């Protein structure tokens, strides 16, 4: 019985199953609390849902806000096509489509445990891998987001940790065919979520330094990886160039996101409007078209930053707080909240942030050879959100790596000093 219980508690596949059950249970429970009419429409009232509906109805990659405003490059293409396929099978804006998308999100989120275990065990030991998996199984954002957001967040989390695992695997098995698959995988991942590109140069640099330290540098293979990554993204870039007559590698929305985080509503002395409404921006987008709309937002954002540099730096600091702790003023919001769940989430965010820092410190002292690859996720990935918009949903693709760093900090006393980590 003891051996069976130990196997149950330490098997990554069993933990993956538990993670899936937790996510599905939350989805079912929450779904019963929401009227079916709302489930069929509200989760899709975003850019992804609008474009997916247009694809399912044969209109093409367009209609960003359910308005006939023509083609769009606002979002990356893979997930809208994926959701459009669900709409084709289960109907556009139906309860069945919502549950199909939510279940697939849950599966992606639960599968994170598999590559996460491999990476964690290779850096620390089996206890590290098991701890990382259990942390991810109960990670609040991993349970909430698959149901709350019909978006690429859960898939991006799976891709991010899989890319990290693949990078470590290549260091041990640097065959050219593996680099080919690695480049193709990177290209696909960027077409799902271009934000993952923030860690691309760091993982390649780590791979180059690691192979060079083994006296088998793989410069040509790394260049091949870059070329294949670009080649996978190139057809979409060409499509965007044809439609919009400018270079848009994957998505075009950065000027709007920059303006959303840096505009006159943040200036108390401004005489301009003190609110931004979705209706107003959708109307303006439809009236001007995507190219002119984004050009105007980009100019307005840059002008505001030039004239309010100190304020924008303060806003960036507040967003950094929100990315890691949930809000710009976590302690005050914790005290004001009368919800046990909200207070728990604030506590978990603080625990994750401290554990992440602890994991990086322990890596510096005990597994420094892995530091560059792992530090890229908490340090480089969120940077763009400090200057645009903040959300725990936007940070979610690097949450598995945060669980890994927390596990490293928690199990560090049980690592064998001086023993080289076992690679993937």
User: pTM to 2 decimals?
Assistant: 0.94
- Of the pLDDT bands very low, low, confident and very high (cuts 50, 70, 90), residue 267 is confident
Which of helix, strand or coil describes residue 62? strand
pLDDT for position 419: 46
For the chain, give the longest Cα–Cα distance.
72
424 pLDDT higher than 80: no
Higher pLDDT, 22 or 367: 22
pLDDT for position 24: 97
pLDDT for position 417: 46
pLDDT for position 418: 43
How many residues does this entry show for the chain?
A: 424
214 pLDDT higher than 90: no
Q: What is the pLDDT of residues 42-81, one digit of tens each?
A: 999 999 999 999 999 999 999 998 888 889 999 999 999 9
pLDDT for position 367: 87
Hey, what are 290's tokens? 């995507």
- Of the pLDDT bands very low, low, confident and very high (cuts 50, 70, 90), residue 2 is low
In angstroms, the Cα distances linking 214 to 122, 168, 172, 208 are 17, 14, 10, 10
User: What is the DSSP-derived secondary structure letter of residue 67?
Assistant: S
User: What is the DSSP-derived secondary structure letter of residue 388?
Assistant: S
pLDDT for position 308: 93
Q: What is the pLDDT of residues 145-194, one digit of tens each?
A: 999 999 999 999 999 999 999 999 999 888 999 999 999 999 999 999 99
pLDDT for position 366: 86
Low-confidence winner among 9-18, 95-104, 323-332, 371-380 (lowest mean pLDDT): 323-332
User: What is the DSSP-derived secondary structure letter of residue 194?
Assistant: G
Ranked by mean pLDDT, which of 34-43, 58-67, 233-242 comes out on top? 233-242
pLDDT for position 266: 87
**Rg of the chain (C-alpha set):** 22
**Residue 218 backbone phi and psi in degrees, to 5:** -120, 50
| Nearest CA-CA partner of 346 in 330, 358, 357 | 330
Kindly state the percentage of the chain with pLDDT values over 70: 96
Calpha distance 254→277 (Å, rounded): 19
When the pLDDT of each residue in the chain is averaged and rounded to a whole number, the result is 91
- Of the pLDDT bands very low, low, confident and very high (cuts 50, 70, 90), residue 330 is confident
Neighbours of 88 (CB within 10 A): 15
Calpha distance 46→396 (Å, rounded): 18
Residues 6+ apart with CB under 8 A from 346: 325, 326, 330, 333, 334, 337
Low-confidence winner among 86-95, 213-222, 241-250 (lowest mean pLDDT): 213-222
pLDDT for position 328: 85
- Of the pLDDT bands very low, low, confident and very high (cuts 50, 70, 90), residue 279 is confident
In angstroms, the Cα distances linking 153 to 143, 193, 391, 393 are 12, 8, 12, 7
Q: Where are the alpha helices (DSSP H) in 57-175?
A: 78-90, 95-111, 113-123, 126-138, 140-148, 153-172
| Nearest CA-CA partner of 22 in 152, 162, 145 | 145
Calpha distance 9→268 (Å, rounded): 54
Calpha distance 120→132 (Å, rounded): 7
- Of the pLDDT bands very low, low, confident and very high (cuts 50, 70, 90), residue 392 is confident
State the burial class of residue 377 (Cβ atoms within 10 Å of its Cβ: 0-12, 13-18, 19+). Answer: buried
Which of helix, strand or coil describes residue 38? helix
Which of helix, strand or coil describes residue 23? helix
Q: What is the pLDDT of residues 116-152, one digit of tens each?
A: 999 999 998 899 999 999 999 999 999 999 999 999 9
- Of the pLDDT bands very low, low, confident and very high (cuts 50, 70, 90), residue 251 is very high
């Amino acid at each position: 019985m003891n051996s069976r219980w130990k196997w149950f508690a330490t098997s990554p596949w069993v933990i993956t199953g538990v993670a899936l059950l937790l996510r599905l249970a939350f989805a079912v429970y929450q779904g019963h609390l929401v009227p079916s009419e709302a489930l069929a429409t509200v989760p899709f009232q975003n850019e992804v849902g609008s474009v997916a509906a247009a694809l399912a109805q044969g209109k093409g990659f367009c209609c960003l806000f359910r308005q006939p405003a023509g083609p769009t490059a606002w979002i990356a293409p893979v997930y809208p096509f994926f959701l459009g396929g669900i709409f084709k099978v289960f109907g556009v804006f139906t309860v069945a489509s919502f549950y199909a998308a939510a279940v697939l999100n849950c599966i992606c989120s639960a599968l994170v445990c598999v590559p996460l275990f491999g990476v964690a065990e290779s850096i620390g030991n089996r206890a590290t891998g098991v701890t990382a998996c259990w942390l991810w199984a109960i990670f609040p954002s991993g349970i909430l987001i698959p149901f709350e957001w019909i978006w690429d967040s859960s898939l991006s989390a799976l891709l991010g940790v899989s890319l990290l695992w693949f990078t470590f695997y290549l260091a041990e098995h640097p065959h050219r065919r593996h680099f080919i698959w690695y480049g193709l995988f990177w290209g696909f991942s960027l077409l799902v979520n271009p934000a993952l590109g923030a860690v691309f140069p760091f993982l390649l640099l780590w791979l180059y330094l690691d192979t060079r330290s083994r006296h088998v540098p793989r410069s040509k293979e790394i260049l091949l990886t870059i070329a294949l990554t670009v080649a996978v993204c190139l057809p979409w870039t060409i499509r965007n160039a044809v439609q919009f007559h400018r270079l848009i590698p994957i998505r075009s929305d950065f000027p709007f996101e920059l303006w959303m985080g840096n505009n006159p509503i943040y200036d108390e002395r401004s005489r301009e409007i003190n609110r931004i409404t979705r209706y107003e921006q959708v109307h303006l987008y439809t009236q001007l078209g995507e190219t002119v709309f984004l050009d105007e937002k980009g100019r307005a954002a840059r002008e505001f930053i030039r004239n309010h540099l100190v304020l924008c730096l303060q806003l960036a600091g507040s967003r950094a707080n929100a990315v890691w702790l949930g809000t710009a003023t976590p302690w005050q919001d914790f005290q004001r909240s009368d919800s046990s769940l909200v207070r728990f989430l604030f506590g978990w965010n603080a625990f994750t942030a401290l554990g992440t820092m602890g994991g990086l410190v322990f890596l510096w002292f005990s597994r420094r050879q892995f530091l560059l690859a792992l530090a890229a996720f908490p340090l480089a990935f969120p940077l763009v959100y400090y200057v645009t918009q903040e959300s725990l949903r936007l940070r979610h693709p690097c949450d598995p790596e945060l669980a890994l760093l927390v596990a490293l900090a928690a199990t560090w006393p049980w690592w064998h000093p001086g023993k080289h980590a076992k690679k993937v």
